[in-house]
Amino acid sequence: MEITPQPAAPQPYRGQVQAVVFDWAGTLVDFGSFAPTQVLIDAFAGFGITVSMAEARLPMGLAKWDHIQALGRQDGVARRWQQQHGRAMSDADVDTLYATFLPLQIERVAAYSDPIPGAIEVLATLRARTIRIGSCSGYPRVVMDKLLPHAVSQGIRVDHAVATDDLAAGGRPGPWMALANVLELGITDVRACIKIDDTVPGITEGLAAGMWTVGLSLSGNETGLSLAELAALSPAETAVFRDRAAAKLNAAGAHYVIDTIAGLPAIVDAIEARLARGEQP
């Protein structure tokens, strides 16, 4: 009897973390992730449709055209659109909304995009450890081209940035933007990478790319409060927001959930210890 040779089992990666791939809004900049959501609310308002902040946040992490389409399919928004326009929202309506949204987003993105506390220091720590700094976003390229120089002026500099419309394959929740960072940065193993994000599609992206994933419970979309609003809460109130966001990100498969980017260096240490033991993402 002929025996078909079996492929050798892949060897575990036991080296150091080589790269961290960051999301932008709610992760590196824009505490509470307001730039994408508030502008979407304003774009819908121009068509006579009231959208709440909670509704606008539900599809966060997707490319903005997809975000608008998903928002328009939510029961409440779809009902209000039907009442206002006498028909369901079509893809042509999504195109029109997107064309309205995009100039507003370009105009306002810098105003919302101050660095999240700890971000500048964490990036410096990673560089001191020779860890490459990648990034990707649900923003299209024209918005990223406005955001990136503003971020540099504020002390946020990455080694590579991928916009959601840079790749023919598309954006989140697929792995392509994260993997484009792997290629550009010359990373030798996806298991040496960490994807950090404040949204479920961003966690799904990192998992699909074979990376370790870190969710953010307080600085981003899942809590959706400004830094001042969060600071005004009692410890008990903060815990409610933290636990609710962490439950959602953990359910999406995040390997770790931390409050903000400031907690990332300790997670890098923990992941490197697990890799040394032969554990894999």
Please give the positions annotated as active site.
23, 64
The identity of residue 82, as a single letter, is Q
d(CA 128, CA 238): 33
Question: How many residues are present in the chain?
Answer: 281
Task: Find out whether 19 and 185 touch, Cβ atoms under 8 Å.
Answer: yes
The number of C-alpha atoms within 13 Å of 94 and in the hemisphere containing its C-beta is 17
The number of C-alpha atoms within 13 Å of 257 and in the hemisphere containing its C-beta is 24
Task: Find out whether 107 and 147 touch, Cβ atoms under 8 Å.
Answer: no
